[in-house]
Amino acid sequence: MSESSITLNTCILILKEHHLLKSSAVQDAVPTKMDYISYDSRDIKTNTLFFCKGAGFRPTYLSMAKENGAICYVAEQPYPEGKGMHALIVRDVSKAMALLSAAFFRFPQDDLYVVAFTGTKGKTTSAYFLKGMLDEINGGRTALISSVDDVVGPKPEDRFKSSLTTPESLDLFRDMRTAVDNGMTHLVMEVSSQAYKKNRVFGLTYDLGFFLNITPDHIGPNEHPNFADYLHCKLQLMVNSRKCIINAMSDHFDEIYAAATTTTNPDSIYLFSSNDFENPNLKQPIDFRFQSVETDMVETKFKLFCASEKAKKLPIAGAYTLQMIGDFNEMNGTAAIIGAGLAGENHDQCAKGIRHVTIPGRMEALPSDGHGTVIVDYAHNKASMMALMSFMKKEFNNPKIIVVVGAPGDKGVSRRPGFSESLTAYADKAFLTTDDPGFEDPQDIAEEIDAGIDHTKVDVTIELDREKAIHDAIAMANKDDIVLICGKGADPFQKIRGVDTPYPTDIKVAERVINELEKDADKEN
């Protein structure tokens, strides 16, 4: 990455401009040019600008940072441990960190076409679809910030596993700078509601912002206090986007549209929906509509129509094929195609780019000899479980549905009744198992889900050994059955008591089980 730095004076000016600076203490004997920036005392270099932030911050981290070379700290209160350093005392350290990080890394967003997706479901999928299409026109120079992988350059070593859906502001602007230095021209990113709550994207404006959908989720002690707060955070994406693209079928559409119009002219707001969607109360015309054509276990075909004059200016109408199955992926695909169209692509480029996109742990289908079709998917809340199972029931002639699922511990407790409800609605057999139990007892979590299931409709087995649950589910399936292994996607670990305990991944376990069962069957024949 090219050299970056920032002066104390620039920091003060930026903080004053945004009314964030409460007070400052400047040390005459200390250099005023900062060559490194960090919020972690374990990652400090000579002349570092250090941020004291977060619920878990301890003043000893500041002492450690000073010893290791930090010369200036930014905090919401003065600390004696920072004596001898420049001190910038601010009203909100997370906002200060976002603004100063953008400046430190020389506003990399100005050199990228930035597209952001928010929504309760479909962010990762849409982001991958759009990257696939943009890569067609820019020669693989689309950076990606997602909850699966982050990509900051065209080489394989520029791709790494992400730890948050939307990174801390400092990490985000650093990754953007690396991407620009590596020649990337576009950035596709997922923006979580937490990103707005924690000011990780404060001050960032997107060329395109997508609102996919919203249903209750992420409400709990470490996330949002209530749905209103969750919605409010997600709406910020519309306020901060130059062009807004909205799923007209989403709950809370009026609030989403209103948020978009606060900063965007209706000419630059695009709506999309399925072909059969009608809402007599909708005042705005739908610009794009999609229609299912055909889906099987290998691919999904749909058509996209440009319905309004504004939409007809984009040459993207026509037939599309996805390798990702599931009718909900037609919606995700439509959103991404509109994004590619607004970035200058035509139908053929879009169709070619989206055709082969797959995403680790999302709708990965494994055929088996005699044990039905096994699907590994990331569905892990009521909306996605409903979408997944209703699709299977509808498209595959009401098959028997066997589900392996668990709920994580320590977070998303409100999701558990959603699992009970969706399993009751569509599953025939459920194996309740372990999924990142954290500091909770997985048996208690499974029993909580089980207590809400109607046992006259669903037969339930609690099997906490996830590998055995997957084995038993596949072993009992007959050839026309569907086995859904939900919630962990491509995660290679189980989060247990604060430790990421290695786990082979659901796909690897399922492949091994299918092989073993097929070998056993061969022996018997």
Ligand X SMILES: CC(=O)N[C@H]1[C@@H](OP(=O)(O)OP(=O)(O)OC[C@H]2O[C@@H](n3ccc(=O)[nH]c3=O)[C@H](O)[C@@H]2O)O[C@H](CO)[C@@H](O)[C@@H]1O[C@H](C)C(=O)N[C@@H](C)C(=O)N[C@H](CCC(=O)O)C(=O)O
Binding-site residue ranges: 41, 119-125, 165-166, 192, 200
Type of residue at 436:
D
Determine, following the binding rule CB under 6 A, whether residue 236 of this chain makes contact with ligand X: no
Give the span between the Cα atoms of 347 and 321, in whole angstroms: 12
3-class secondary-structure state, position 216: coil
Name the binder of 379 from ligand ATP, ligand X, none, CB < 5-8 A by kind: ligand ATP
CB of 348 to ligand X, least distance (A): 34
Is there a contact between 484 and 498 (Cβ–Cβ < 8 Å)? no
Q: Which is nearer to ligand ATP, 135 or 217 (CB)?
A: 217
Ranges within 334-373 binding ligand X (CB under 6 A) = none
Name the binder of 474 from ligand X, ligand ATP, none, CB < 5-8 A by kind: none
CB of 207 to ligand X, least distance (A): 21
Give the span between the Cα atoms of 426 and 464, in whole angstroms: 22
Type of residue at 73:
Y
Give the span between the Cα atoms of 274 and 355, in whole angstroms: 20
3-class secondary-structure state, position 398: coil
Give the list of residues 6+ apart from residue 484 with CB closer than 8 angstroms, or none: 375, 377, 379, 388, 389, 392, 401, 402, 403, 404, 405
Name the binder of 86 from ligand ATP, ligand X, none, CB < 5-8 A by kind: none
Burial category of 481 from C-beta neighbours within 10 Å (exposed 0-12, middle 13-18, buried 19 and up): buried
Q: Which is nearer to ligand ATP, 38 or 124 (CB)?
A: 124
Find, among 439, 437, 509, 441, the residue nearest to 470 by Cα: 509
Name the binder of 472 from ligand ATP, ligand X, none, CB < 5-8 A by kind: none
Buried b (16+ CB within 10 A) or exposed e, 98-113: bbbbbbbbbebbebbb
Q: Which is nearer to ligand ATP, 48 or 373 (CB)?
A: 373
CB of 61 to ligand X, least distance (A): 4
Give the span between the Cα atoms of 414 and 233, in whole angstroms: 19
Give the list of residues 6+ apart from residue 281 with CB closer than 8 angstroms, or none: none
Give contact residues for ligand ATP (rule: CB under 6 A): 119, 121-125, 147, 165, 190, 212-213, 328, 331-332, 362, 377-379, 383-384, 387-388
CA angle 70, 71, 77 (to 5 degrees): 95
Determine, following the binding rule CB under 6 A, whether residue 194 of this chain makes contact with ligand X: yes
Determine, following the binding rule CB under 6 A, whether residue 222 of this chain makes contact with ligand X: yes
Type of residue at 330:
E
Q: Which is nearer to ligand ATP, 204 or 388 (CB)?
A: 388
Name the binder of 124 from ligand X, ligand ATP, none, CB < 5-8 A by kind: ligand ATP
Q: Which is nearer to ligand X, 212 or 484 (CB)?
A: 212
Give the span between the Cα atoms of 185 and 331, in whole angstroms: 26
Determine, following the binding rule CB under 6 A, whether residue 174 of this chain makes contact with ligand X: no
Q: Which is nearer to ligand X, 201 or 342 (CB)?
A: 201
Residue of the chain from 131, 141, 177, 218 that contacts ligand X (CB under 6 A):
218
Residue of the chain from 25, 164, 425, 496 that contacts ligand X (CB under 6 A):
164
CB of 486 to ligand X, least distance (A): 16
Half-sphere exposure of 506 (CA within 13 A, CB side): 34
Name the binder of 332 from ligand X, ligand ATP, none, CB < 5-8 A by kind: ligand ATP
Ranges within 30-89 binding ligand X (CB under 6 A) = 39-42, 53-57, 61
Q: Which is nearer to ligand X, 117 or 253 (CB)?
A: 117
Name the binder of 119 from ligand X, ligand ATP, none, CB < 5-8 A by kind: ligand ATP
- The footprint of ligand X (CB under 6 A) covers 39-42, 53-57, 61, 164-166, 168, 192-195, 198, 218, 222-223
